[in-house]
Structure 1
Amino acid sequence: MRITEINTIFADRYLFVEVKTDAGITGLGESGAWAFLEASAEAVNTFKRYLIGEDPLRIEHHWQYLYRCYHFRGAAIMGALSAIDIALWDIAGKSFNVPVYQLLGGKCRETARVYYHVFGETREELIQGCLDAKAGGFTAVGHLTPFLDEPRERPYFKTHRAKIADAIESVAEYRDAVGDDVDLCIEIHRQLSPAEAIALGRGIEEFHPFFYEDPVRPDNIDAMAEVARAISIPIATGERLHTIEEFEMLLSRGGARYVRPDVCLAGGISQSKKIAAIAEAHGAQVVPHNPLSPVSTAACIQLAACIPNFALQEYPTGEDLPPKSGIVRSSLTIEDGFIIVPDAPGIGIELMPDAAERYPYKAREYVTRLHKDGSVFDQ
């Protein structure tokens, strides 16, 4: 079997990669390069100069060949490599007529617990999102910010006292709304300094969040570890990290108890399995990052199925998302807040032939939020 064709497909806000073979098997992957998908597509076009004509089942060799050839890294490149890796695993599963997880050691679990995305520009909207999740049978909510999902065009300003006190009050109300039946995954979106992150973390400890995600920018692992040492809530981070070495440094410094590799950014299924093993050695658990399409979800579930230290899966929901039936054919089903691990070959999902036509590509707007004083504010 040989690779004959590699195509990039833009649909809605996503970049998909199809790898075709002379055996009639097509593999599907997705890039998680977020706002840099056009650059990621060009990286795929560069990689296919090597891949056309190669055996698709030499997955690890191809990964190493592409990653180590020209020495340079970054989100666009790693998103492209991740998409190709997922597609090659999809081909492998279909070739042997088994799910990908069966090629990676088999199932560790029958279902994967997921958390529901909650959005809102007001506290009332976020509380209602928590209640909707509970009513829908979900036992965890995430993407749950104590700072509101305010428009990036709106300049930001609050005093330190108001910023921390309002955030603590928000988390208290989220907990009151759902009681002990729903876990709260508190998302900070890198908005705080280490000092602010410690103050807020200590202030919400009594509400027992499942985790405290990205309280500070992840560029400085030591700063994340400083926050982790000062509070009792587990830190979750890793969605911006690209390599197994970065995750090893994060964990060895005590910077996280939950790691968040993005299967579509951190090297695909191949490297995400290795990241999970590194986390296992450190006693940490895995919460795969997944703000993308159902293709990403399908790849994440293959990982969740075969690792012993899986904790929770991000499950994107929102009114702006296209219907899953319109963009993919999927073998995934969800019951009571758990995705049933599928038994379909490969990653268990197919792109609809007309997905790109039905959902024209929408490039993400490039809007960085500013502070009232005109400086850049992280959101």
Structure 2
Amino acid sequence: MKITKLTTFIVPPRWLFLKIETDEGITGWGEPVVEGRALTTEAAVHELADYLVGKDPFRIEDHWNVLYRGGFYRGGAIHMSALAGIDQALWDIKGKALGQPVHQLLGGQCRDRVMVYSWVGGDRPADVAANAREAVARGFKALKMNGCEELQIVDTFDKVERAVAAVAAVREAVGPHIGIGADFHGRVHKPMAKVLARELEPYKLMFIEEPVLSENREALAEITKHCSAPIALGERLYSRWDFKGVLQDGYVDIIQPDLSHAGGITECRKIAAMAEAYDVALAPHCPLGPIALAACLQIDAVSYNAFIQEQSLGIHYNEGNDLLDYVANPDVFAYENGFASIPQGPGLGVEVNEEIVVRRAAEGHRWRNPVWRHADGSFAEW
């Protein structure tokens, strides 16, 4: 079997899909995208494609090494996301050719299902609380919400009070036994992260996500003195080498590699195993589309330390199209009692509706991050 063609599709709301074809008619799908940089990532995919056309798609480990190491300059969001989508598609091809789900090729599943959480938004505490109640009514046993608005490096306590009010409203709405993740989104610097972590302590959070940016991870040594909630981090790390220092530091309890940013299935399998050796949990980041989620579930299936999976159904980013719109077998993502089953179909287990993909790619998208500013006019982390 030989790879014959790589085709990319920029589709709403903010995704990039990849189709890899072979001379035996077996195709694989991947999701290589950097949110807000889809066109740049698409260009990187086609640069890497020059090496792949004519090659045996089964040699995934070798292709990964060549595509990562062979360009001399390596790593970072664009390169690793392009490589991630290619890697996903190659595993999809191999699983389909052998008639097995990817997790079977990785040693077989160690769990039948994985807990998923729902994103809850809202502009006011009452709105967030209402959305949280609705998610719990749909069966979710865990939620994630923004932990705060934008904060300057040192800010006023009224913003802390607003953040605490929102978390308190959700905790009161859902009771003591629903997991709540508070995502600081890298918006907070060390001086205010310490304050927020301490003030949120009474609400028994499931985790605090990105209390500071990954590049400021040395601040975690101080922040963890002010809270007992597990610290989660990793959506903006792109390889096992990026995660190595984080794990060695010992302050992170949950890692969140993104299967569409951190080198795909091949690399995230290794990152998960590294984390297991440090007794650190795995919760893959995935506010993306159906191919990315299917890839995540393959890693969840074979990783002992996986405990929860992000998913984007109904998330506020998904304007115009949602998770299931591009899928011919939407039942593969049927959630029950707060859990998602592990896909059992060959390859990634998700059947892409190519007709819809082609139609929506004709419209495409130019999604960009919002640009926020503080009251003094300086740039604010989104």
Q: Determine if the TM-score, normalized by the shorter chain, exceeds 0.5.
A: yes
Shift of 1:323: 4.2
Q: Report the counterpart of residue 168 of structure 1 in structure 2.
A: 164
- Rounded to whole Å, the distance in 2 between the matches of 1:160 and 1:170 is 17
Check conservation: 1:18, 1:28, Cα contact below 8 A: yes
Q: Report the counterpart of residue 368 of structure 1 in structure 2.
A: 371
- Rounded to whole Å, the distance in 1 between the matches of 2:193 and 2:41 is 33
Secondary structure class of the residue paired with 2:380? coil
After the TM superposition, which of the residue ranges 89-98 and 324-333 deviates more from structure 2? 324-333
RMSD over aligned Cα atoms: 1.9
Shift of 1:255: 3.2
Q: State percent identity of aligned pairs.
A: 36
Shift of 1:367: 3.3
Q: Report the counterpart of residue 94 of structure 1 in structure 2.
A: 96
Deviations 1:351-377 (A, max 9, x none): 212224146322113532011111111
Deviations 1:185-226 (A, max 9, x none): 111111211121111111111211000001111112212343
Unpaired runs of 5+ residues, structure 1, are none
Secondary structure class of the residue paired with 1:362? coil
Does residue 7 of structure 1 match 2:7? yes
Unpaired runs of 5+ residues, structure 2, are none
Does residue 238 of structure 1 match 2:238? no
1:212 aligns with one of 208, 211, 236: 208
Q: 1:274 to 1:24 in 2, by over 3 A?
A: same
Does residue 336 of structure 1 match 2:337? yes
Shift of 1:158: 9.9
Q: Report the counterpart of residue 125 of structure 1 in structure 2.
A: 127
Deviations 1:80-135 (A, max 9, x none): 10000000010111111010000111011001110001121222221111111110
Shift of 1:350: 2.5
Q: Report the counterpart of residue 197 of structure 1 in structure 2.
A: 193
- Rounded to whole Å, the distance in 2 between the matches of 1:374 and 1:179 is 39
Q: 1:15 to 1:371 in 2, by over 3 A?
A: same
Equivalences for residues 348-367 of structure 1 within 5 A: 348-354=349-355, 355-358=357-360, 360-367=363-370
Q: 1:58 to 1:225 in 2, by over 3 A?
A: farther
Moved over 6 A (4+): 155-158
Deviations 1:49-75 (A, max 9, x none): 110010101001000001011222321
Equivalences for residues 50-199 of structure 1 within 5 A: 50-72=51-73, 73-142=75-144, 144-147=145-148, 159-199=155-195
Shift of 1:324: 4.1
Query: Which residue type is aligned with residue 197 of structure 1?
Result: A
- Rounded to whole Å, the distance in 2 between the matches of 1:119 and 1:178 is 15
After the TM superposition, which of the residue ranges 120-129 and 269-278 deviates more from structure 2? 120-129
Secondary structure class of the residue paired with 2:169? helix
Does residue 276 of structure 1 match 2:279? no
1:310 aligns with one of 306, 311, 316: 306
Please give the TM-score of this superposition, normalised by the length of structure 2: 0.93
Count of paired positions: 373
- Rounded to whole Å, the distance in 1 between the matches of 2:130 and 2:10 is 33
Secondary structure class of the residue paired with 1:222? helix
- Rounded to whole Å, the distance in 2 between the matches of 1:146 and 1:269 is 30
Q: 1:369 to 1:156 in 2, by over 3 A?
A: farther
